[in-house]
Structure 1
Amino acid sequence: MSLIPPETTTFSAIVERLLKNMGPGTDPNAGGMARTLAEAYAREMATFYAMMELAHRSGYLDTAEGAALDNVVAVLGLKRARAGRLTGEVELSRAAPAPEDIGIPAGRQLTGLAADGKPLPLFETLEDATLRKGDTRVLIPVQEIQDDAGAAAEAPPVINPFRLTLMPRPILGIEAVTNPAPLRRGSDDETDENLRARARTALRDGEKGTLESIAAAVRQQGVQQVTVREPADAPPGVVDVLVGDTDFESDVEGVVRVESAIRETKAAGIHVRLRYAKTVFFQVDFQVEPTNPEMDEVTFDRLRRELQQTLALHMNELPVGAPVSRRKLEALLFGNPAVRRVNELSVETYVWGTDPGPPIKKVLVKETAGRLYGANRDWKLEPLEAARIDLELKPPRITRLRAPTWRLDLVVSLSSGEARTAEQVREALRGALDVYAARLSEDAQMGREAKLTFDSLQQSLKTQARIEALLGCDVTLETGITATLVLATNPAHVVPAQVTQLLVRADVRLQFGGAELVGVG
């Protein structure tokens, strides 16, 4: 961006142009009168052009530098962050890998709540970033917005990890934000490039009076769940602001901050109806069968906590009035690779009530009316109700689901030229039984009849484990009763302890117990 072509404003270009315009016969040599006068004039003109170019560039965001850039961004209400501000990194993430690149512009604001419940100062991302396709998280440098007032003036010298968790203007595709490391005060002023990046985002997000700007202003006060909408049952000029945070209405200071933020952001003549959602606490009860049947109790307890946090995060992000989908909850649980099977979810709901005491105090009271509806047996909520899971008051009750196990003890014969060791043969039999069990389980899950028979088991072991023949098979059921599996050649000769087939349910697990190996000489 240049006012005049730069190649025509240099000292040498001006001198040559002046000598050329003096006409023929002019002495162009150094030291001559004509050249001396031309050089003196050219020096002043080159300086003049340079000053004009500098003044021109100082008026644009992309080319202004230093103090000139400070003047340009001042039009947007921005100031260069000086030394002493809080700086660090934040992590923006999502649960599933990004299906495409997600752009994150510089200047995106973030905040959070301190340990005492008061809002932290606002922070801004310093540079453009991208969450790449296939990734789940990205780290971005941030700095404090120093406004010399409010939370910024009272900010501590260090902000502990995992406190910066709110984004007033959410980014589509980003599900969570936090600071993995402490945020500390820096010793350098903000660079020109970072200031330009913030200014570009301020140009895009600087509008006021819109529904999104009102929602962003409310989130800046530490509110995690807010819905701003124009109600269909009200005349034009009426806006509903629904705060869905648990018990936010009882936070007197928080209510004052939210009301003040709305007044400063809304357009003149707009009437805002500030409402607070009634919190409905969900306590989910179900059993989980781990993928690894040998999982110890310590590992299962860790899995239990992971599932509890997953459910709580999903429920706490639901908009006010949104129903709770049973299939969505089940999908979240099966999304954990350590989960093999989950039985049906049961839910109890609670709301705040009063204990007559003495002394009188607030307590959670179980609802008597059911909330199930529809063919999928989802849970419905009223327009001003918000579904939440509180991990301290009513955490999900998750217990271990132990699948019924049938133990198979085999007697097999091997070919005369068998070169494998006994241990290798048993490992092959174990793997072959797993393949056979998976096929029966698939049949049962698809609604087909799944039968454990001597002939089908023998064929599978011959193919997968390369044995000569299956000579015997004892099946110990989950009840402890042992039955001998035999061929169904003559059912009349089958004794009570023998069976020709066993129907396998989808939840039954076949386990290799052992094998007696008979060599053929």
Structure 2
Amino acid sequence: MSLIPPETTTFSAIVERLLANMGAGVDPNAGGMARTLAEAYAREMATFYAMMELAHRSGYLDTAEGAALDNVVAVLGLTRARAGRLTGEVELSRAAPAPEDIGIPAGRQVTGMAADGKPLPLFETLEDATLRKGDTRVLIPVQEVQSDDEDARQAPPVINPFQLTLMPRPILGIEAVSNPAPLRRDSEDETDTDLRARARTAMRDGEKGTLESIAAAVRKQGVQHVTVREPADAPPGVVDVLVGDTDFESDVEGVRRVEAAIRESKAAGILVRLRYARTIFFLFDFKVEPNDDAMDEVTFDRLRRELQQKLSNYMRELPVGASVSRRKLEALFFGDPAVRRISDIQAETFVWGTASETTLEKTLVSESKIRLYGANRDWRLESLEAARVDLVRTQQRITRLRPPTWRLDLVVTLAQGDTRTAEQVRDALRGAVEVHAARLTEEAQQRPSTPTYLTRGKLEEALRSQAHVAGLLGCDVTLPSGTTVVLVSAPSANALTEEVTQLQVSADLRLLFGGAELVGVG
């Protein structure tokens, strides 16, 4: 970026240009009167051009340096961070691998809440970063946004790990933020490169008066759930700010900070109605069948905790007034590779109330209101209600789904000339039983109103076609209760064992091959 081509403003270029303009009879040699005068003039002109170039470059963000850069960014309300500020790294993450690269510009702000309920200092990312396709997390250096207010002067000397959890302006595709390591005081001033990166983001995000800027200002006060919208039932110039944090209205100091932040960020003449959402606590009850049938209880307990955390994160991101979709919950659970199947999801809702008329102590009480609606049986919420899951107050009921299993012990005859080993035949029988079980359960699922049965004839037909045996001589079925029955085509008159001609199949039934006695032919 230059006003004049730099090759024409150098000392030697000016001297040659002056000598050329003096005419052909002038002595151009060193020491001559003409060249001495030209060099003296050229030196002053080259210095003047250099000063002009420096002044020009000092007025632009990309080229200004040092004190000049400080003056440029001051227009945006930014100042260079000095030594003594808190610095470190934050981790931006998502639960599932990124489907595409997610760009994260420098200058994105993060904060959190201290143990006493006050917001921690604001931090800004120092450089552009990218969460690559297929990754779930990325580390980015951050520094404290220094300020002269009282909260900044009382900032702690160290920010402990996992304290920065809020992002005032969320990034699409990023679900969580945290600091994996402590943030400590730095001993050097902010560099020009880092200051330029922050300024570029400040220019993009510096607008005020928009819905997003108001929401960002509220989030900076430690509010996790905020929705800013223009109500359809109000005249132009009215904006609703809905705070969805649990019991936030009882936090007097927090309300004061939010009200002050709204006044600073809204445009003149805009009426802001600050409202607080009523929290509806959900307790979900469902069963999970893991993909690994041999999963022990310790591993299943770990899976249960992972699903509970996913559920909590999903509900936390729901905006105020948004209904809870049953299909989205099912997709959330089926997205875990360890889950094979889940049962129908039931839910009970709770609100804050009093346990009895004799005490004023608040506690969670079950709602009598029925929230199910629609063909998908979703849960409806009103415009000023927020659905949440509290893993401490309402422990989610996730138990193990154990489908009914029937064990089949077979007696089969082999075809003449069958050269397979006994183990090969049993493997074929095991596969045939699994295929037949899949067909029966599929039929039961597709026709729930019509009973589906396991019969001796259908089983023998499946074994003949799939395992290539000659026939089925006997089939003992051990039920989940431990009772063993004999599956027959027709009951005998003097049976010593319990015989049945058919067993009704449920949609979640599993047939387990127990063993087989092989009878040769010829």
The superposition leaves residues 203-257 of structure 1 with CA deviations (integer Å, 9 ceiling, x where unpaired) of 1111112221111111100001111122233333322211110011111111111
Secondary structure of 1:403's aligned partner: coil
Letter in 2 for 1:474: D
What TM-score, normalized to structure 2?
0.90
Q: Which residue of 1 aligns with 2:281?
A: 281
The alignment partner of 1:408 has SS state of strand
User: 2:198: which partner in 1?
Assistant: 198
Task: Give the equivalent residue in structure 2 for 1:170.
Answer: 170
Q: Find the counterpart in structure 2 of residue 51 from structure 1.
A: 51
Q: Show CA shifts across 1:314-340 (max 9, x none).
A: 222222222222222222222222222
Alignment of 1:67-86 (within 5 A): 67-86=67-86
Question: Does the CA contact (< 8 Å) of 1:228 and 1:239 recur in 2?
Answer: yes
Q: Is the 8 A contact 1:125 1:141 kept in 2?
A: yes
Partner Cα distance (1:46, 1:378) in 2:
76
- 1:514 matched residue in structure 2: 515
The Cα of 1:35 is off from its aligned counterpart by: 2.9
**Alignment partner of 1:366 is 2:366:** yes
| CA drift at 1:115 | 2.4
CA apart distance, 1:3: 0.9
Aligned counterpart, 2:229 = 229
Equivalence for 2:484: 482
The one-letter code matched in structure 2 to 1:511 is L
Secondary structure at 2:112's aligned position in 1? Answer: coil
CA distance in 2, matches of 1:394, 1:362: 15
CA gap 1:20/1:431 in 2 versus in 1, 3 angstroms: farther
Query: In structure 1, what is the Cα distance between the partners aligned to 2:405 and 2:30?
Result: 105
SS of 1:479's partner is coil
Aligned equivalents of 2:396, 2:414: Cα separation in 1 = 52
Residue in 2 that maps onto 1:402? 402
Shift, 1:429, TM fit: 4.4
- Residue 314, structure 1, aligned to residue 300, structure 2: no
Q: Which amino acid aligns with 1:514?
A: G
Partner of 2:153: 153
* Corresponding residue for residue 505 of structure 1: 506
What per-residue deviation string (whole Å, max 9, x for no partner) do you get for residues 249-282 of structure 1? Answer: 1111111111111111122222222111111211
Unaligned runs of 5+ in 1: none
1:3-22 aligned within 5 A: 3-22=3-22
For 1:113-164, what per-residue CA distance to the aligned partner results, in whole angstroms no more than 9, with x for missing partners?
Answer: 1222221111111122233334333322222111132443222222222221
Of 351-360 and 383-392, more deviation after overlay is shown by 351-360
Pair 1:12–1:455, CA change in 2 (3 A): farther
Once the two structures are superposed, residues 6-61 of structure 1 have per-residue CA deviations (whole angstroms, 9 ceiling, x without a partner) of 11112222222122222213333334333333333323222221121111111000
Tell me the residue number matched to 2:209: 209
**C-alpha deviation, 1:355, in angstroms:** 4.0
Provide the secondary structure at the position in 2 that maps to 1:300. Answer: helix
Indicate whether 1:135 and 2:135 are aligned: yes
How much has 1:426 moved relative to structure 2? 4.5
How many residue pairs get matched? Answer: 518
Opposite residue 389 of structure 2, the aligned amino acid is I
Residue 334 (structure 1) aligned with residue 343 (structure 2): no
Pairs within 5 Å for 1:63-142: 63-142=63-142
Of stretches 59-68 and 354-363 in structure 1, the one that deviates more from structure 2 is 354-363
**Residue identity matched to 1:101:** D
Asked if 2 retains the 8 angstrom alpha-carbon contact of 1:287 and 1:398, the reply is yes
Listed one character per residue, the Cα deviations across residues 152-205 of structure 1 (whole Å, up to 9, x for unaligned) are 322222222222111111222222222233223333322222211111111111
- Given the superposition, is the C-alpha separation of residues 505 and 21 from structure 1 closer, same or farther in structure 2, using an over 3 Å criterion? same
* In 2: Cα distance, 1:330 partner to 1:67 partner: 57
1:52-102, CA deviations, whole angstroms, 9 ceiling, x for partnerless residues? 111111100011112211110011011112222222222222333333333
Shift of 1:476: 1.2
Q: How far apart, CA to CA, are the structure 1 residues paired with 2:355 and 2:501?
A: 63
Q: Which amino acid aligns with 1:390?
A: D
Contact 1:414 1:518 survives alignment (8 Å): yes
1:247 is aligned with what amino acid?
D
Aligned to 1:272: 272
2: CA distance, partners of 1:209 / 1:307: 39
In 2, Cα distance between equivalents of 1:172 and 1:498? 63
Unaligned runs of 5+ in 2: none
Cα separation, 1, equivalents of 2:148 and 2:428: 72
Identity among equivalent positions (%) equals 77
TM norm structure 1: 0.90
Contact kept in structure 1, 2:109 and 2:168, CA below 8 Å = yes
Conservation of the 8 A alpha-carbon contact between 2:355 and 2:365: no
CA distance in 1, matches of 2:470, 2:24: 113
Q: Is the 8 A contact 1:122 1:152 kept in 2?
A: no
Which residue number in structure 1 is paired with residue 293 of structure 2?
293
Cα pair distance change 1:520/1:38, threshold 3 Å:
farther
1:165 is paired with a residue whose SS is: strand
Are residues 53 and 444 of structure 1, via their aligned partners in 2, closer, same or farther at CA, if it must alter by over 3 Å? same
Partner SS, residue 322 of structure 1: coil
**Distance 1:202-1:491 versus aligned 2 partners, 3 A rule:** same
Say what the alpha-carbon RMSD is for the aligned residues.
2.8
SS for the counterpart of 1:111 is: strand
d(CA) in 2 for partners of 1:342, 1:474 = 30
